[in-house]
């Protein structure tokens, strides 16, 4: 299924019609600080609002290096207005070249170490923390390289020096040059965001929205400014626990206070609040003393026919046969996703058990992960399958034997997460092995789709995989049954009901 087909499915959702505004369709502008081309939540939300009768459009940020320039474009049949990005490459080509050289000299320090022994908790945590994620993970991972064994960016596309790699943090180094580089990149990142804010306000106000949908807290300021003096309202959609997300925290002495102030003011001025998991909803309600609990709209795939395992693609992409046992992982290949622990657990499983990674990430991190696998004696059993569009993930996963859903709680946002990969794996009809995090574990236990493990040691994960592989059919049947209920179509009703209340003048 293509992105266009998934948008079409979201538009076909049977939901209530939104009230008219002075006899016309309500106008909605969704603000998001990425190019919107692959943001499934933003696209599904916008398509659903259109299905409910809204004139809904997206204001995003241009990403020239990804083929999404400034101007008005389309994703499927959704209109996207992209604001020009503040380009370091175009503005200061010599400085950009110097930055690339500086990053290259320090790149080795950013690769996760491969332990000689992979049987201690301290080893896995040391490796996992060696490459912090960035504040804009979509761009960084999109430009990260990987061994190209399937769909997704080619090696040339993935490794070319671009705007995204230039705006990534440098490897940890010391000295005055490192300090100057750090200050410069922080200043540039702030200027880049502020530039988008100004452009987004200009673009959004021209569309005269009745409601501005702020996707995450970095869109709250332009959302509020867009509605000043217009009578328009803001709906805040917190895709993660913004103040406690996984970002590089070194020397962030001012930013946390600014972010807290923006969210604190913005959420109270918003007419409605949406988020993705019950724990985040409760945290927001309690922290900001909200009068009502935020509306829960989980990021779940649209309904589709259950995929045929015989038509799955993981074994083909990884070069594996029917006799092999396949443990699947889907998502960004980066820190905090339990990949180090999963590699270590693989070393404790039979030789016919393989780990197949469907996704992409920074080549430095991937090289370190593969080195870790080699040191643990499982280098030939870890496979990179490339990437497929999000709408095609369940079908691609369908011939795996078990899916690992492991988000290591290195920040509160991760602990409270309800990751897309959980629902994508359920839609693939797979048994699940999931870390014991509150919202993830609740879904796994309620629907009986797999085993929850205590993520203390690799042995815990290996034991859970063994239990599922010993008798997978009951879990597989439970996943197939759960997939019929866990769909975007069920979430869409909550979204549209909130919009109807806001448009009728009631607080969501």
Domain residues for the domain of 57 are: 3-86+189-301+489-503
Count of CA atoms in the C-beta half-sphere (13 A) of 21: 21
* Contact in structure between 309 and 303 (CB atoms under 8 Å): no
Q: Are 61 and 85 in contact (CB under 8 A)?
A: yes
Q: Which residues contact 230 (CB under 8 A, 6 or more apart)?
A: 205, 208, 209
Cross-strand partners of 453 = 435
Structure confidence at residue 167 (pLDDT): 38
What CATH number does residue 59 fall under? 3.40.50.2000
Distance CA 285, CA 275 (A): 11
What are the angstrom distances between the C-alpha of 71 and each of 38, 91, 100, 502? 17, 20, 28, 30
Per-residue pLDDT of the chain (508 residues; tens, 9 = 90+): 567 777 877 877 778 899 999 999 999 999 999 999 989 999 999 999 999 999 999 999 999 989 999 999 999 999 999 999 987 656 556 655 665 666 555 544 444 443 333 332 223 222 223 333 333 333 222 222 233 333 333 333 333 334 433 334 444 455 777 777 777 777 888 999 999 999 999 999 999 999 999 999 999 999 999 999 999 999 999 999 999 998 876 667 888 999 999 999 999 999 999 999 999 999 999 999 999 999 999 999 998 888 999 999 999 999 999 999 999 999 999 988 999 999 999 999 999 999 999 998 999 999 999 999 999 999 999 999 998 887 889 999 999 999 999 998 999 999 999 999 999 999 999 999 999 999 999 999 999 999 999 878 899 999 999 999 999 999 999 999 999 999 999 999 999 999 999 999 877 6
Residue 15: per-residue pLDDT = 81
496, part of any domain:
yes
Contact yes or no for 88/96 (Cβ under 8 A): yes
Alpha-carbon distances of 103 from 92, 100, 181, rounded to whole Å = 16, 5, 10
Task: Say if 328 falls within a structural domain.
Answer: no
- Distance, in Å, from the CA atom of 122 to the CA atom of 134, rounded to the nearest integer, reads 23
**Residue 469 φ then ψ, to 5°:** -65, -25
Confidence at residue 305, expressed as pLDDT on a 0 to 100 scale: 85
Q: Is residue 19 part of a domain?
A: yes
Q: Which of 297, 477, 323, 311 is nearest to 394 (CA)?
A: 311
Q: Is residue 282 part of a domain?
A: yes
Instruction: Say if 240 falls within a structural domain.
Output: yes
Answer whether residue 35 is part of any domain: yes
Domain count across the chain: 1
Domain-embedded: residue 27: yes
pLDDT of residue 166: 37
∠436-329-121 over CA atoms, to 5°? 50
DSSP 73-116: EEETTEEEEEEPP--HHHH-HHHHHHHHHHHHHHGGGGSPP--S
Dihedral sign computed on CA atoms, order 67, 425, 416, 212: positive
C-beta separation of 429 from 412 below 8 A: no
443 lies in some domain: no
């Amino acid at each position: 299924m293509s992105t266009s087909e998934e948008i079409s499915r979201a538009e076909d959702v049977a939901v209530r019609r939104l009230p008219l505004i002075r006899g016309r369709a309500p106008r909605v502008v969704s603000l998001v600080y990425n190019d919107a081309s692959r943001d499934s939540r933003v696209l599904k939300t916008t398509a659903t609002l259109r299905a409910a009768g809204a004139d809904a459009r997206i204001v995003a940020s241009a990403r020239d290096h990804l083929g999404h320039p400034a101007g008005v474009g389309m994703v499927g049949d959704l209109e996207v207005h992209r604001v020009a990005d503040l380009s370091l490459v175009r503005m200061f080509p010599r400085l950009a070249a110097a930055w690339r050289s500086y990053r290259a000299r320090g790149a080795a320090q950013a690769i996760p170490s491969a332990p000689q022994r992979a049987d201690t908790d301290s080893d896995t945590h040391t490796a996992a923390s060696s490459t912090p994620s960035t504040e804009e993970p979509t761009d960084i991972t999109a430009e990260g390289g990987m061994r190209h064994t399937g769909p997704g960016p080619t090696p040339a596309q993935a490794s070319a020096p671009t705007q995204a790699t230039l705006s990534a943090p440098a490897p940890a180094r010391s000295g005055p040059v490192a300090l100057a580089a750090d200050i410069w990149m922080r200043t540039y990142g702030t200027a880049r965001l502020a530039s988008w804010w100004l452009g987004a306000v200009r673009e959004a106000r021209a569309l005269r929205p009745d409601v501005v949908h702020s996707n995450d807290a970095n869109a709250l300021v332009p959302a509020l400014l867009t509605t000043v003096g217009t009578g328009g309202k803001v709906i805040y959609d917190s895709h993660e626990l913004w103040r406690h997300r996984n970002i590089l925290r070194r020397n962030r002495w001012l930013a946390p206070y600014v972010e807290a102030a923006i969210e604190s003011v913005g959420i109270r001025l918003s007419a409605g609040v949406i988020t993705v998991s019950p724990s985040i909803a409760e945290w927001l309600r309690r922290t900001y003393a909200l009068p009502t609990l935020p509306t829960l709209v989980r990021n779940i795939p649209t309904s589709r026919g259950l995929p045929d395992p015989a038509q799955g693609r993981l074994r083909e992409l990884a070069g594996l046969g029917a006799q092999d046992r396949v443990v699947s992982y889907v998502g960004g290949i980066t820190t905090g996703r339990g990949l180090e622990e999963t590699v270590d657990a693989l070393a404790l499983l039979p030789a016919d058990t393989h780990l197949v990674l469907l996704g992409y990430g920074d080549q430095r991190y991937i090289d370190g992960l593969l080195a870790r696998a080699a040191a643990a004696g499982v280098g030939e059993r870890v496979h990179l399958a490339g990437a497929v569009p999000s709408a095609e993930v369940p079908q691609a996963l369908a011939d795996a034997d078990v899916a690992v859903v492991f988000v290591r709680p290195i920040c509160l946002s991760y602990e409270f997460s309800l990751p897309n990969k959980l629902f994508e794996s359920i839609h693939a009809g797979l048994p699940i092995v999931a870390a014991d995090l509150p919202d993830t574990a609740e879904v796994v236990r309620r629907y009986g789709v797999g085993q929850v493990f205590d993520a203390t040691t690799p042995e815990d994960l290996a034991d859970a995989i063994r239990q599922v592989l010993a008798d997978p059919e009951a879990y597989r049947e439970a996943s197939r049954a759960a997939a019929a209920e866990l769909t975007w179509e069920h979430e869409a009703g909550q979204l549209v009901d909130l919009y109807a209340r806001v448009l009728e003048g009631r607080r969501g």
